[in-house]
Amino acid sequence: MDNWRLIKEFYNKSFGFPDGLVELASVSDVLLMCVSGSSNETISNFFKMSIEEVDTIIQEWLNFSGWIEDLDTNPYSIYTGLISNGYYSIDDFAEELKSEYDCELDGEFIKYNYKACSLYYRYENRINNEWY
């Protein structure tokens, strides 16, 4: 038996956690660093993981390739700040993100950030609701 399967079985049998929740909890810090603007290389170095592992996790859970360079701002902080004030649209997010940069932002950059932040927000809520 491999160790990962044993860990998932332990959490499933001991606490009733489904495998998907255990897997999500195991990668949530990597995902949080990504949506907070850290590059894949920074994440790889921080967790002492291969860049390929980081790339795979981000692609699998956030549906994009991550960042080549660290971003100048924290998109997830912007996203959660907007959510806490009742703003949910990509337009609100785009406006706030643009105010953090001195240059015009590409629509794809905004879309990837918004999508990744909204996915992670749901993941974070799932962990908070089902794990604790």
What is residue 4's predicted lDDT score, i.e. its pLDDT? Answer: 66
Is 8 part of any domain?
A: no
Reading the chain (132 residues) residue by residue, the pLDDT tens digits are: 476 677 777 877 777 777 788 889 889 999 999 999 999 999 999 999 999 999 999 999 999 999 999 998 999 999 999 999 988 899 999 988 888 876 677 888 899 999 999 999 999 999 998 877
- Kindly report the length of the chain: 132
Q: Where on the phi/psi map is residue 107: left (φ > 0), alpha (ψ -120 to 50), or beta?
A: alpha
Give the relative orientation of helices 19-35 and 51-62 as an angle to the nearest 10 degrees: 110
pLDDT for the residue numbered 13: 78
HSE at residue 107, side-chain half, CA atoms within 13 A, is 1
Residue 90 sits in which domain range? 17-61+72-130
The pTM score is 0.87
Residue 3 lies in a domain: no
Residue at 1 is within a domain = no
Domains: count for the chain: 1
| Interaxial angle between packed helices 40-47 and 51-62, expressed in degrees from 0 to 180 and rounded to the nearest 10 | 120
**Is position 53 within any domain?**
yes
pLDDT at res. 103:
63
